[in-house]
Amino acid sequence: MEKLPLVVLISGRGSNLKAIIDAADPLVDIRAVISNRQQAKGLLYAKQAGIPTEIMAHTRFKTRIDFDTALQTRIDFYQPKLLILAGFMRILSPGFVAHYQGRLLNIHPSLLPAFRGLQTHQRVLESGIKEHGASVHFVTEDLDAGPVITQARVPVLPDDDEESLAARVLQVEHRIYPQAIHWFAQGRLQLQGQSVLLDEQTITFNKGD
Ligand code: GRF
């Protein structure tokens, strides 16, 4: 089977990038890692693995569209069939998202559609709910609202603080993101309108599962 060329966008720590690298999926070819922050620790994981890295500081661009256009040009230089957001802390413009429609994935630290946006662990603790988790989803124009591909649940324990809960969620993130990428590389995953098809069956996490 042909390897799936992919590009990963990061902004910081890069532990999900590391999990994808460590998965060493024989169906996956990580062509480049691009960060909008020069100090992103994740760049080191890419360098150690011999993957080309680029820094594209958003601060050098006047508008979001200017940045997204330049970013798109750099990404497309590597001709990826899948674009991976792994802790990329920039909102992407509709034109950018449309360009990568059906081949743009993100991981979010909550059981979507619950707790979109930032500070999910803190908000989960404040809410008193007993279950939390992570979701891999296709990116669409609406922030953190794209159709979910897979989720993993973790318990919220009585003694949890933000750090302990985040660490538990991160562990499952590192399992489900490489898994979703593997499905995509196998050609089993598809975005059809607002639905995700896995092996031609619709997956429905977004309906309050
Ligand atoms: C993760 O919690 C991910 O769910 C969210 O941003 C964080 C990135 O962490 N989108 P890392 O940079 O992969 O360690």
Encode pLDDT of 17-50 as tens digits. 999 999 999 999 999 999 999 999 999 999 999 9
Task: Tokens 């991160």: give the residue.
Answer: 170
16 lines ligand 1 (CB under 6 A): yes
Q: How far is the CA of 62 from the centre of ligand 1 (A)?
A: 26
Q: Taking the CB of residue 148, how many other CB atoms lie within 10 A of it?
A: 22
**CATH number given to 4-203:** 3.40.50.170
Q: How far is the CA of 45 from the centre of ligand 1 (A)?
A: 14
15 lines ligand 1 (CB under 6 A): yes
- What's the average model confidence in pLDDT over 149-164? 98
pLDDT over 80 at 206, yes or no: no
Residue 47 near residue 18 (C-beta atoms within 8 A):
no
Sequence spans of domains, the chain = 4-203
pLDDT for the residue 205? 77
Which of 99, 108, 121, 174 is labelled catalytic?
108
pTM of the model as a whole: 0.96
Beta strands in 156-192 (DSSP E): 189-192
Peptide bond into 52 cis (omega under 30): no
pLDDT band, very low/low/confident/very high, at 7 (cuts 50, 70, 90): very high
